[in-house]
Structure formats: C-alpha cells, structure tokens
Amino acid sequence: MNWIAIGSLSDIPRRGARCVATPQGKIAVFRTADDQVFAIDDHCPHKGGPLSQGIVHGAAVTCPLHNWVISLETGKALGADEGSVRTIPVKVEGEQLFIALEALASKAA
Amino acid sequence: MTEKLVIIGNGMAPGRMLEHLLEAAPDRYSVTIFNAEPRVNYDRIMLSPVLSGEKAFEEIVIHGDGWYIKHGITLYKGHRIVAVDREAKTVTSDHGVTESYDRLVIATGSVPFIIPVPGKDLPGVLTYRDLDDVEAMLLAAQSRAKAVVIGGGLLGLEAAAGLKERGMDVTVLHVMPTLMERQLDPAAGYLLQKAVEARGIKVMTKANTKAIFGNGKVEGIELMDGTIIPATLVVMAVGIRPSIVLAKEAGLEVNRGIVVNDRMETSDPAIMALGECAEVGGHVYGLVAPLYEMARVAAARLTDGEDKRFAHSDTPTKLKVTGIDLYSLGDFADGDDREEIILRDASAGIYKRVVLQDNRIIGTVLFGETADGAWFNDLKKKATDISEMRDTLIFGQAFQGGASSDPLAAVAALADDAEICGCNGVCKSKITGAITSKGLTGLDDVRAHTKASASCGSCTGLVEQLLKLTLGEAYNPAAVQPMCSCTSLGHDDVRRLIKAKGLKSIPAVMQELEWKTSCGCAKCRPALNYYLVCDWPDQYADDYQSRFINERVHANIQKDGTYSVVPRMWGGVTNSNELRAIADVVDKFRIPAVKVTGGQRIDMLGIRKEDLPAVWADLGKAGFVSGHAYAKGLRTVKTCVGSDWCRFGTQDSTGLGIRIEKFMWGSWTPAKVKMAVSGCPRNCAEATCKDVGVVCVDSGFEIHFAGAAGLDIKGTEVLGLVKTEDEALEVVVALVQMYREQARYLERIYKWAKRIGTAEIKRQILDDVEKRKAYFDRFVFSQKFAQVDPWSERVSGKDKHEFRPMASVGFAEAAE
C-alpha cells in the first residue's frame, strides 16, 4: 500500500476534522475525543453535505445539512437512514498521519 | 401530463384524502385548494380543548404552511368559491380567482343551524364551528360575565365547559328533557347533567327559547315560559346542516347533503364530494371516523387504486370534557325484542348499559367508566354471540374467562383487529406492529407513525396500555422526554443540575449526570454548551467543537457547502460608505448573490469557506462586525423610521432599536431571537410577530413578546406598557435573560412562554421590580464576556486551521 503523508495529529482538533484536497474531491480526516483518526469522502450520501463540517461524537459525525449520522469506521449511515460513503485507510505513526494512495487512484480510474 | 385537482374546502376530510393521495400517487395531480377559512388544515374536533385553554391553536394544526409548500399544493386561504362552471370545468372564488379542473372535490362541510328567533343577529350571538368562533368566545369570556349556551348536545356541552373554564357564568338551555338524548338514555343523561352541574354550570332542560333581546348587543334570553336569563354572550349549538348551496347552484343532485354514491362520486362524474356536506346511502355524517373513511374511499377513486366502497357503520360518541367519561354506541332504544344489562354504582357515579338483540350487542352506553368501550364495540361489530359470558358481560373484558382484573390484561385480551382509535380507524395489531417494527418508545411516536390517538385523543389510555404491553418495563409514561438518547434526563433537569451541582464543563456534566455515551451526540452537545455558556459566563470556556458549523465559522452553510455572510446593520440603518464596502467585497470575491433579508440586512451568498477570513477582514475595515445571522442568539432588531421622518411616528423607534441591538448583540440564547421596534401602532416594523417587539405609542412603549412568523404563525402577547425608553430597554433585557436562563435549547420564546405561562412572566418581569433588576444585571454581566466580534477574532488568527485544507495530495505539481 502506498501511504501518503498528510500532516500531523495535532493539526486536527479533538472531536473535529480537517480536509485533504485531492483531484477527485475532498477527503475529510477526523480525530475523535480519544485520538482515533478516520478518513472518509467529504460528501454525505444523502445530499452531498460536507461531513468535515459536522459535529463529531464518538466515532460518528452528524452531517451539517440534514443531520444524517455517519459512522466514521464503516462510512455507513446510522439510525433509520440508509446510504454509505467511501472510507479511506489511515495510518498513524507517532504524530504523523498517512492515507492510502491506492484508494485515490482506484477512484480516479 | 399532470391532471388538475381542485378541492373546495380545507377541513379534516379533504386533508386526510390528500394524505392518502400523496402517499399513493404523489405526482399524479397538481392540487389547488380553496379554503373559505383564512388558515391551514386543523383538527376541528380539538377546538374544545383550545376553548378551555388545555391546548393552543398551534397544537391542533394538522398541516402547517410548510406541508403545502413541501407538496407543491396551492392553498388559497380565505377564498370562498362562489361559482362552479361544470361546462367550462372552472371554479371562481369571491376574490375573483378562477381555476380550471380536471377533477373537482367538494368538501364544504356544514354550517351551524341558527334557530329562527328574534334577536338571532344581535352582536354577541355566536355559533361554534371554527377557530373564529372560538376566538370570539375567548374575547367575550374576558368579561367573566354571563353566557348562555343553547343546545345540550356534544358541541353545546363542550362549549359550556370551555367557557366555564375561562371564568364565565354559564347556563345551558336544552329543549329536550335530558342532555344528549340522541346519544344517551335518560339515566346516563341524568348522570351527565349532575356531572355538568357539579362543575358550576347551570342546566335548564325543556327550555324553549322565545327570543334573544338587547339594545345593540345581547343582553339576555327570554324563554317560552316567560323566564328571563341575562347574558352578554349566547352560543347556539343546536346542530349542523350540510353546506350544499354551491353544489345545488351548480346543478348537482342534492338532498339533505350532496348526494354521492359509495365511491364518493356526485351526479357529475368529474366531481366528487366528501365530508359533512356529502350524503351517502341516505346518511349524512358529523363525526370524524366516517369522514376519514370517506377520505380513504375518495383517494382510492382519485388514484384509480383499489376499488374501495363506503359502508355505513355506527361510530361511538365521546365527550371531550376533561373529567367526564362518556361513551355511547349504536342503538339503545327499548324494544320488545331487546334485552338489556345494566350496572349502576351510585357512589362512584357509574352507569353501564348494554342493549342486546338475539344475544348480540346492538348498543352500549357507558358513563363514568368507559375503558371497556372498545371491547363492547368490537363485540358489536363482529356480532359475537355473548350468551356464554352473559352473567359477567357488564363487568367488562377483564372479568371474562377468569382473567385477572388487571387493566393491562383487558387490553392484552383484545383481538388483533379490535379498533383502538375510532377517529383514524387504527386497530390493535397496527399499533403493536408499529411499536415493534419501528422501535417506537412513546405516545408521540405512535401518533406520528400510526395516527392512533392523534385526533380527539380519547383512546390515549388504550394506546399507552398497548405501549406498556408491548415494551414492558421499558415504557415509562410518566418519564419526561429525555434530551437525547445519551441520557434519561430531560432538558429542565439537566439545567437545574448544572446549577445545583456547579457543573462547569461538558465532561463534568456527562460524568456527574451519568451520560450513557462517551462524548454525547449532535443533539446534546450544542445544548450543554449553551447551558454552560449561559450559566457560567465568566468561567466556562466555549467549546467550539460542540457548536453547529454555522456558529463555529460565523456564517451560514448553504446546500452546496458554500457560506453566506451577513454584516450587522444596527437597526437596519446603513450609509453610502457601508454600501460601497459591501459592493467592493462582492466584486473582489466574485460573490454570486446578494440579497436583502427579512430582518433588514444584506446577505452575501455563495462564499467559499477559504475566503471567509479575507471577506471579514475587508468588511471589518469598513467598520462592520458579524451580524450573527447564524446564531442561536440575538439576530436583528428591525425598525421603522419613527419620529425622525414619519408623520405618524410617536417615538424614536430607530434610535431605540439601535440602542437595544447595541446593548444585546453577541448574547447567546436558547434559539434565535428576532426583535423589532415600530414607531406607532401602524407597526411598519412588524413588531407583533417577533420574539420580542416594541410598539411605540404616545404614552410610551408597549412591550410585546412570544410572536412567531415561521412554520408557526402567532401574534405576540402584550407584556405591558412602560413610559420611558430606559424602562423599555430594562424590561426587554430582563425578559430575554429570563428566557435565556429557563428555556430548553432550541425552544423559541413563544414555545417557552406557552409552557411557563404569560402570567408568570408578567409577574417576574413587570410586577416584581427586584427580580427584573436582577435579571437585567445578570444579562449585563454576561455581556462582558459575550460582546466580542468573532469576525475580527478570526481575522487576527484564532483557529486559522479551520479555513484551510490540511494537505493537498494527488495533484500534478502545476495544477495546484
């Protein structure tokens, strides 16, 4: 797997997210209260809302547009809603964060 | 091509028909409704609780304005149709609107019957049919004077109870020897009369009205026997007549009602009729259950769906007067071929009578104890042979087959297809099925998913027992609605405990109050953050990660992920420098849309998040600060030009508006707060539909509050009149602080006020000067920490990360 460095853990506030720009669109990288890191497409399966702007709680985020709750682990909508968003592998080495490039390439293809 | 469906009338029957129609074929018709009443569809059978004060009008609205918008339905409010041209297939309203139709539905309902006695047209003589009647009665009730209700039927008694509740001295006149003689036998009628009299309402039976008299307005009633009863309000509730004039003039076949077949079709195949105006199989109906059945049939016909036919069935009658339990069904007249079983308990005021023919129930009257009504109804519907349980039948279901007398067991023993909600035709299995399959946990859930108990509410007890039966221990009806699924505590408890235990951070609240999740959810975190900001202004550090994105970046997120920015324009006043600065920003950042808002501000829409700090920086140089158009906080104070310019202005409304806004900006509140100051009662700033409004008059400042003009529309309540601008400011500020300290997160002022009561707010803010001063001082203290312009903070570098991507990957070098 081809890992790309995207920055350090402290770049992201706890219970928050930052974006990584790619040619295929933004990826939202989340940091939970207990310092787990997840990356998913910044695009809600419902109406395309920017998930990176939502409120992060546990390992889930609530979309700012219509309050869908998306699991950061699976990318799936929780509760009564149905839909899912692509998850991107993340690796934390010390302070450094990496995401897997294959995922990007596969989407571009 | 979509067909055009025009509906005349917007009552409960056509409303329900539309729900079925939209479910089955949402795109088939373009729908236009003409409603002679100037409002949306509401639950007419709940007018009595509105009259008595147990409910507010907003609580009985079935379809709010948003519903019509969402479904693309055109609703003409206050348009009475005056002509139907069947040749041209058009209808025309009294305001001159003509609309063509492919299919027409007439649902004109009924009109109250007016007894033709002298004086029937005097001011002060009302009927009881719609919200206007209720409002007129409420106005009359303010005098606490004498009222006479003519008619001792369902409507008349509900009106009487409501007026009594509102403090009037009420007499009911009934022409027959006993009350509700069409639904009750004399014994139950007698018990009902005693129960009504026990509430302080006078009842006169065999009372024939001769005349209503008065000079210019009602002063009293004279009976045939010469009795004179003084009254300032007379309510006629002697019955209704189907409203058929329009159909008759259009040449449709009419009898008592508009004649329709069992598929709701009139004599013109393009025209259907339903509701109280329709006559089917020789019957006209006034209770909601058969009307809803008509709605189902009509919707099926309109969508060419299942071939449904309307069949007559008896509908139980219930009285909606709190504390009087009464149930009547079917035929209860005496007869040679009939037998009856009666149970009386004088001390408990209970009377039960079941009428039998060939060992089958044909009628039931229950008074004082009505829990077995549904069971008797079920036995009657199925024509069950009751000879086996004849000895114990009258004691009810719980006594059959040696079962325990546990009321739960009675509900458990009901057949799956037993009808629970008569209004909406919902049976037991539909409710229990929804509870299980949809994971429902409370009454509101059941109402939302099945509509059971959502109309008159008299089956609420049964529905609650079904919840208890299905959920077991998990159902606790007495429990307050928890804030969210992270806790079992309600908002009020959490607010109280934050103060009592001195909790000063979100983790502290979650630990001490035993939150079930590690870090809450998107519902509770913003609420807790607000409560802590409000209660500990000098000690709590605002948690941005618990704020909704709009408050976190001080702009409003739009559907495409861009933002809109609204700078503050104090009191809605601006000048050429400000306008020039806005124009420059719009050009520089190529802002695609600029719009004037309802709150007298300028909104710039379509700004990329990355550009926000630079946009603010430029606006800041021109002297602008954030307009907080995104905040659960003070938004805008709208003003008119007042005594500075207007020839009618009584005070400097612009000046006061600006003063209030400068004093209060930056404060966080449970939900948004919009204000306005009008310079005279012409009210050009529309202060009477705001959260808080001021209307200037010659003698001072009238303080208004608890208005709404969103999904709900509500005029303000008047808090009181003050003489000086300083007092006006103090009252407004104290009121908002009281709201800040007490309301639940996202609860607008009008909802909070309804919960707390206007009288209590008046007592604390107007009457208790020390309390008012204390609220005012606490607000002033908290403003020390709140009045920081978030835009300039951000421009100077706070949390800069928020606006930049953390990395860019996968781009070719030149592409970036």
Domains held by chain A: number:
1
- Judge whether B684 is annotated as a binding position: yes
Q: Which CATH number fits the domain that encloses residue A22?
A: 2.102.10.10
Distance between CA B350 and CA B367 in Å, rounded? 6
* A33 contacts B521? CB cut-off 8 A: no
pLDDT digits (tens, 9 = 90+) for B75-88: 999 999 999 999 99
The per-residue pLDDT for B402 is 47
So what's the pLDDT on residue B94? 93
Enumerate residues 6+ apart whose C-beta is below 8 A from B154: B180, B183, B317, B319
Question: Is B423 annotated in some ligand binding site?
Answer: no
Q: ipTM surpassing 0.90, yes or no? A: no
Computed over every residue of chain A, the mean pLDDT equals 89
DSSP state of B50: H
| CATH code of domain B3-110+242-302 | 3.50.50.60
| pLDDT for position A108 | 44
Q: Tell the burial category of B204 from Cβ atoms under 10 Å away from its Cβ (0-12, 13-18, 19+).
A: middle
pLDDT at B178 over 50: yes
pLDDT at B336 over 80: no
Q: Chains A, B: CB contacts under 8 A, how many? A: 97
pLDDT of residue B190: 85
CB contact under 8 A, A62 and B549: no
Structure tokens belonging to residue B487: 């806790």
- pLDDT attached to residue B437: 87
Which residues numbered 60-99 in A keep a CB inside 8 Å of some CB on B?
62, 64-65, 67, 69, 99
Read off the amino acid at residue B240. I
pLDDT interval class at B401 (50, 70, 90): low
Q: Where are the alpha helices (DSSP H) in chain A?
A: 101-108
B46 pLDDT above the threshold of 80: yes
What is the share, in percent, of chain A residues with pLDDT greater than 70? 92
Q: What is the mean pLDDT of residues B476-487?
A: 76
Cβ <8 Å between B808 and A22: yes
Whether domain B125-238 has CATH 3.50.50.60: the reply is yes
Contacts of residue B815 in chain A, CB cutoff 8 Å? Answer: 23
Fold of B634-786: Sulfite Reductase Hemoprotein; domain 1 (3.30.413)
DSSP H or E run through B149 = strand B146-150
Give the sign of the dihedral formed by CA B563, CA B568, CA B571, CA B576: negative
Per-residue pLDDT reduced to its tens digit, B242-266: 999 999 999 999 999 999 999 999 9
* Gap from B807 CA to chain A (nearest CA, Å): 5
Q: What is the mean pLDDT of residues B109-125?
A: 91
When the pLDDT of each residue in chain B is averaged and rounded to a whole number, the result is 89
| Nearest CB partner across the interface for A58, out of B518, B559, B561 | B518
CB contact under 8 A, A7 and B807: yes
Does residue B816 carry a pLDDT above 60? Answer: no
Report the DSSP pairing between strands B419-421 and B426-427: antiparallel
Please answer whether residues B326 and B319 qualify as being in contact, where contact means their C-beta atoms are separated by less than 8 angstroms: yes
For residues B52 and B165, the answer to whether their CB atoms sit within 8 Å is yes
Tens of pLDDT, residue by residue over B596-618, are 999 999 999 999 999 999 999 99
Confidence of residue B514 (pLDDT cuts 50, 70, 90): confident
Name the residue in chain A with its Cα closest to that of B438.
A80
- Is there a contact between A7 and B517 if contact means CB atoms under 8 Å apart? no
Helices and strands in chain A, H and E counts: 1, 10
Asked if A104 and B525 come within 8 Å (Cβ–Cβ), the reply is: no
pLDDT at B814 over 60: no
Burial of B635 from C-beta contacts in 10 A (0-12 / 13-18 / 19+): buried
Cβ of A57 and B807 within 8 Å?
no
Q: Is B640 annotated as a binding residue?
A: yes
Query: Does A101 touch chain B if contact means CB atoms closer than 8 Å?
Result: yes
Which pLDDT band holds residue B403 (cuts at 50, 70, 90)? very low
Residue B279 phi/psi, 5-degree rounding, is: -120, 120
For the entire predicted model, the pTM comes to: 0.54
Q: B746-780: string of b/e by CB count within 10 Å (b at 16+)? A: ebbbbbbbbeeeeeebbebbbeeeeebeebbebbe
For residue B778, what is the DSSP state?
H
Asked if B352 and B367 touch (Cβ cutoff 8 Å), the reply is yes
Q: How far is A91 from chain B (nearest CA, A)?
A: 15
**What is the CB neighbour count within 10 angstroms for residue B67?**
19
Question: What pLDDT score does A39 carry?
Answer: 96
Range(s) of chain B covered by CATH 1.10.10.1100: 415-475
The encoded tokens of residue B46 equal 């709940």
Q: How far is the C-alpha of B101 from the C-alpha of B82, rounded, in Å?
A: 15
Q: What percent of chain B has pLDDT over 90?
A: 55
**B365-377 mean pLDDT:** 86
Cα–Cα distance for residue pair B753/B761, rounded to 1 Å: 8
Gap between the Cα atoms of B81 and B249, Å rounded: 12
* Burial of B72 from C-beta contacts in 10 A (0-12 / 13-18 / 19+): exposed
Which of A15, A55, A68 to mutate: most B Cβ within 10 Å? A55
What digits encode the pLDDT tens for the residues B28-39? Answer: 999 999 999 988
pLDDT in tens, B210-243: 999 999 889 999 999 999 999 999 999 988 899 9
Which chain B residues touch A50 with a CB distance below 8 Å? 557, 561
List the single residue in A5, A33, A55 with the smallest CB-CB distance to B522.
Answer: A55
Which strands, in side-by-side order, build the sheet including A25-31?
A87-88, A37-41, A25-31, A16-22, B807-808
Phi, psi angles (nearest 5°) of residue B369: -155, 100
Contacts of B521 in chain A (CB under 8 A): 57-58, 62, 69
Provide the pLDDT confidence category of residue B344 given band limits of 50, 70 and 90.
confident
Q: Give tens-digit pLDDT for B553-604.
A: 999 999 999 999 999 999 999 999 999 999 999 999 999 999 999 999 999 9
What pLDDT is recorded for position B1?
Answer: 67
Return the DSSP state at B397. G
Domain coverage including residue A67: 3-108
| pLDDT surpassing 60 at residue B103 | yes
Residue A55 to residue B519, Cβ atoms within 8 A = no
A104 CB within 8 Å of a chain B CB: yes
Which chain A residue is nearest to residue B553, measuring alpha carbons?
A53
- Give B145's pLDDT tier (boundaries 50, 70, 90): confident
For residue B445, list chain A residues with Cβ-Cβ distance below 8 A.
none
- CA B57 to chain CA centroid, Å, is 5
Contact B545 A56 (CB under 8 A): yes
Of B517, B799, B806, the CB nearest to A6: B806
Q: Is the pLDDT of residue A64 over 80?
A: yes
Choose the mutation target among B487, B808, B809, B813 for the interface with A, i.e. most A CBs under 10 Å.
B809
Q: Is A54 within 8 Å of chain B by CB?
A: yes
pLDDT band at A74 (very low <50, low <70, confident <90, very high): very high
The CA distance from B753 to B745, in Å, is 14
CATH superfamily, with its number, for domain B415-475 = BFD-like [2Fe-2S]-binding domain (1.10.10.1100)
- The values of phi and psi at residue B345, to 5°, are -135, 95
Per residue in B616-655, pLDDT tens?
Answer: 999 999 999 999 999 999 999 999 999 989 999 999 999 9
